[in-house]
Chains A and B, each alone.
Chain A
């Protein structure tokens, strides 16, 4: 019986369950959602299918600040997760030795608790007079009116924390595959430390990060940028080697790509962190959509915003893939 299936058809047969699942639980609801976005009316008087495409322009005009904020928070969280996750993944892959599996387990261990619970526990631990800030205030190390919760930093930190494993695991997989013999070959071919280059990259990286952080918390960026640039330069100077720049990093790019997408996409759409750790001024587009659906029951606008978000993410990802793709091709040119 099985032998009668033509060989060429086997891959398609294997795809069938997955495709079926997607059609049933993704494509069909998405289509439904699209139709809903073109309704007019309200919950009490009922809705009509009016094909009101104008709602998209309306939604974009009204809510673009939330979209921009979501992209900024998501982007920053992704960048932070990358900066934390890359050294972590690198260390586990190259220096983990026999503890590799234990360390990897620790990376994913937070997943054994629910996302919501972990975020709520942040709220408790980092409360204005909670476990961390309380003693610090009592000792006079930080001012009495210092607040961590209800700030953009808290939201971004929360997102970063929650999504860090999504960044770390793909990076680890990519780095683990890098053959250390290639690094020996690079050293054999005079790839040594990368002092000036490393310092410049470190300074630029640190500076950008500090600048973005200053923008988010709305303080004067000058001092933080200067400090971060110096620190970055020192780190870059001593940690980045030429074999890393020429071999390890380019070979880990698929992991960078996968990790940053797996982090960025859920980060942009997130509303839990903004809800629990933020305030009204840190609301993301996810919060708006959630409110439109569940509290205001403005289904058409909620659906339209979902689609706008989806389109924005797809466009962003395509641009990103384009940039990283060409980077990979030209990565070796000096």
Chain B
């Protein structure tokens, strides 16, 4: 078992109703203002030593608030924060061995890049010689040697981002907190920095807790991801598990495109559980996939896992087969995206690599009858508390796409 860098125990934050209410009161204008707004809802979480951990979720789900509580900028309403086994819940920020890369970088505009990076070391009374050595090393690590004398106003956004990173990392914190650090960069730079960040994290071996709303970003860099929604995380796991075996409709929808079909259980044998879709088709799912899923379930399959066949075509033994009709095809170069309507009206998205069918004439076209087929192992099952309303919304969205 790896050492735990950060442990959150029942961590909770209400805005407006607590002692810090005065400064934030303006945010709370809804009906239950007296209770405050529940931004973080009883989170239990262990982040391991040396891990690249991401908090992923839509805007407003409480990622920043969670991070700020770990950093010491926000007082929890309830719960506990441990840093390397030590309770730091009430330790002020300046005493925590944690550093933050802020969303807007927050570089000190009146100090040079050198002094910005040296700031934490100087507060800790590190000797001038050591400061010089470590700042120089760090600027090399983030590939900004020679920028020492500049002011933050004289560098680009991407460079400011690196300085913010260097300024935090130079202190060798137990944990580095990053709040959407790449949010302000353009796409190309962002991709480049994702790789860079991962390299730096591996080089320095410091635990990173990374906040983002960009699923691709989280998947690219993270060892593990907690997918957050409404103040708590719905699922925690490595990127592959989250993608292949999402546990809730929300997680399935947030990481990539997924097709979710309402299904009712219809018996099982020793390896497979049987489900029946609303059009009556039987679908098989490995038992392992439905273990520990409870409540209303929905069946899911990722668009790239589905193959399209003609009615008469054979499919590998044991594959699930569902009939449908192509209602939309869009050619994307690498692949083609099809929208297929099932007999019960549900729409399914399918991505087909343009390999066997590559030219326009060979592709499926609107109105053709097809059979969707996929391996039972490619199914996943989600707990579908949101139910049909959410499903309808999803389908409408899919229809627009």
Q: List the B side residues contacting A190 at CB < 8 Å.
A: 94-95, 120, 123-124, 171
How many of chain B's residues touch chain A, expressed as a range?
Answer: 20 to 34
Q: Is the interface of B mostly helix, strand, loop or mixed?
A: mixed
* A333 CB contacts on chain B under 8 angstroms: 115
Counting CB contacts under 8 A, is A54 at the interface?
A: no
B95, B102, B123, most chain A CB atoms within 10 A: B123
B117–chain A nearest beta-carbon distance, Å? 10
Interface size class of A (residues with CB under 8 A): 20 to 34
What sequence of 0s and 1s flags, for each residue 96-115 of chain B, a beta carbon within 8 Å of any chain A beta carbon? 00111010101111111001
Contacts A185-B102, A189-B123, A333-B115; A250 near B92 (Cβ below 8 A) = no
Report Cα–Cα, A185/B73, bound state, in Å.
Answer: 10
Do A179 and B106 have beta carbons less than 8 Å apart?
yes
User: How many angstroms between the C-alpha atoms of A247 and B107 in the bound complex?
Assistant: 11
Closest to B125 in A: A334
User: Residue of A at shortest CB range from B118?
Assistant: A334
Chain B residues with CB under 8 A of A98: 26
| A-B contact number at CB 8 A | 75
Is B23 an interface position by the 8 A CB rule?
yes
Bound CA span A293–B168, Å: 65
Query: Does A328 reach chain B (CB closer than 8 Å)?
Result: yes
Residues from chain A with a CB closer than 8 A to the CB of B124 are: 190
Report yes or no: A184 in contact with B93, Cβ–Cβ below 8 A: yes
**Chain A hits for B22, CB < 8 A:** 97
Q: Which residues on the B side are within 8 Å of A246 (C-beta)?
A: 108, 119
The reply to whether A242 and B102 contact each other, CB–CB distance below 8 Å, is: no
CB-contact partner of A181 in B71, B94, B102, B120, under 8 A: B102
Q: How far is the CA of A50 from the CA of B120 in the complex (A)?
A: 67
- The answer to the question of B249 belonging to the interface, with a C-beta cut-off of 8 Å to chain A, is no
Query: Residue A182 contacts which of B106, B115, B122, B123 (CB distance < 8 angstroms)?
Result: B106
Closest residue of A by beta carbon distance from B124? A190
Of A97, A189, A331, which contacts B110 at CB under 8 A?
A: A331
Instruction: Determine the distance from Cα of A185 to Cα of B107 in the docked complex, in whole angstroms.
Output: 8
Q: Which partner residue on chain A sits nearest B170 by CB separation?
A: A189
Q: Please state if A192 and B115 are interface contacts (CB–CB under 8 Å).
A: no
How long is the Cα–Cα vector from A251 to B107 in the complex, in angstroms? Answer: 13
Closest to B110 in A: A250
* A188, B108: Cβ atoms closer than 8 Å: no
Give, as a whole number of angstroms, the nearest-CB distance from A59 to chain B.
43
Which chain B residues lie closer than 8 Å to A251 at the CB level?
A: 109-110
Q: Which residues of A contact B120 (CB under 8 A)?
A: 189-190
B233, chain A: closest CB distance, angstroms: 24
Q: Are B71 and A188 in contact (CB under 8 A)?
A: yes
Residues of B within 8 A of A186 (CB): 108, 119
Nearest residue (CB) in A for B115 is: A332
Task: Given the known inter-chain contacts A250-B110, A332-B111, A334-B122, please indicate yes or no for A189 contacting B167, CB distance below 8 A.
Answer: yes
When the two chains form their complex, are residues A192 and B95 in contact, meaning their CB atoms are under 8 A apart?
yes
Instruction: State the Cβ distance, B355 to closest chain A Cβ, in Å.
Output: 50
Please, which residues of chain B bring their CB within 8 A of the CB of A189?
Answer: 94, 99, 119-120, 123, 167-168, 171
Given A97-B23, A242-B123: A187 in contact with B109 (beta carbons within 8 A):
no
Closest residue on chain A to residue B98 by CB atoms: A188
Q: Which residues 104-149 in B have Cβ within 8 Å of A in the complex?
A: 104, 106-112, 115, 119-120, 122-124
Instruction: Bits for A64-77, please: 1 = Cβ < 8 Å to B, else 0.
Output: 00000000000000
CB distance from A63 to the nearest CB of B (A): 42
A331 vs B115: C-alpha distance when bound (angstroms): 10
For the complex, give the distance between the alpha carbons of A185 and B101 in Å: 9
* Assembled-state Cα–Cα distance A28/B123 (Å): 55
Known: A181-B102, A332-B115, A334-B122. A187 touches B108 (CB 8 A): no
A residues lining the B interface (CB < 8 Å): 97-98, 179, 181-182, 184-192, 242, 246-247, 250-251, 328, 331-334
Known: A185-B102, A334-B122. 5 other contacts (CB 8 A): A97-B22, A187-B94, A189-B119, A191-B123, A192-B92
* CB<8 Å pairs between A and B, sample of 14: A97-B22, A181-B106, A182-B106, A184-B93, A187-B72, A188-B99, A188-B102, A189-B171, A190-B123, A190-B124, A192-B92, A247-B108, A250-B110, A331-B110
